């Protein structure tokens, strides 16, 4: 019984650390993309077309990152 309790405690601790790490990674990811969008929002685009180009660039950056993560 003590072995099972020890194993359950280990699993619970490991799961909590895993979930904490996942939250930290998600926060880092969101901070990065928020920074990218804040750059666009803070800028003064010359026209709607230039704003669209900037948004498309960020979209492409995100697509490239998704491809890299799917390959890993």
Alpha-helix runs per DSSP H in 1-72 = 2-42, 48-71
What is the tens place of the pLDDT at every residue in 34-69?
A: 998 898 888 887 888 888 898 999 999 999 988 988
pLDDT value of residue 63 = 93
**Does residue 14 register a pLDDT over 80?**
yes
**CA distance linking residue 70 with residue 25, whole number of Å:** 16
Interhelix angle 2-42/48-71, rounded to 10 degrees, is 160
What is the tens place of the pLDDT at every residue in 43-52?
A: 887 888 888 8
- The reported pTM is 0.68
Residue 63's nearest CA partner among 33, 35, 21, 39 is: 33
Cβ proximity of 40 and 51 under 8 Å: yes
What is the tens place of the pLDDT at every residue in 17-29?
A: 999 999 999 999 9
């Amino acid at each position: 019984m003590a072995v099972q309790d020890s194993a359950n405690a280990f699993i619970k601790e490991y799961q909590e650390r895993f979930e904490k790490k996942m939250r930290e990674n998600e926060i880092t990811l969101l901070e990065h993309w928020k920074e990218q969008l804040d750059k666009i929002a803070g800028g003064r685009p010359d026209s709607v077309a230039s704003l669209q180009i900037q948004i498309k660039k960020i979209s492409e950056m995100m697509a490239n990152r998704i491809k890299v993560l799917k390959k890993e």
